[in-house]
Amino acid sequence: MIKNIIDTNMIENCEGQLSLFGGDIESSVGEWVSTHGPELTFDEIAERIGRLIVMDMSTESHKWYQIVQVEKIFTYEDGTRRLIYYSGKRQRGLVDERYLTWGSVHAYRIPNEEDL
């Protein structure tokens, strides 16, 4: 089960969504991620089974990040690897290694995770 790690002092209600940042979301999210958690390689993610990471789920029109739990790394017979993560939903999320390696998907370490 993913722990509730959001400090209630940081939460602002934004029309039914929770926001950690308020104001200028474009610069705030990127700034928070770059200063609070370094980007992870696929090998680093593979070492974090059972731990939490931040996944960049942004689209062209909407910037957003999601805290997920690394559930397992599945390796196909041809050596291709896939991250399987849990985000609190019934169906697990899947990301192939090539998307993280080529930079179209980004994942970040949560700082001070031991404090959660």
Q: What is the DSSP pairing of strand 81-86 with strand 65-75?
A: antiparallel
Is residue 72 in a domain? yes
Is residue 109 in a domain? yes
Is residue 80 in a domain? yes
Give tens-digit pLDDT for 8-46: 333 333 333 445 555 554 556 566 666 666 789 999 999
Does residue 56 contact residue 105 with C-beta atoms inside 8 Å? yes
Is residue 26 in a domain? no
Range of the domain at 50: 38-115
Any idea which residue has 């399987």 for tokens? 84
Is residue 10 in a domain? no
Q: What is the pLDDT of residue 34?
A: 63
In angstroms, rounded to a whole number, what is the distance separating the alpha carbons of residues 38 and 34?
Answer: 6
Is residue 4 in a domain? no
**Exposed/middle/buried for residue 23 (C-beta within 10 Å: 0-12, 13-18, 19+):** exposed
Does residue 71 contact residue 84 with C-beta atoms inside 8 Å? yes
In the chain, how many domains are there?
Answer: 1
User: What's the mean pLDDT in 3-7?
Assistant: 42
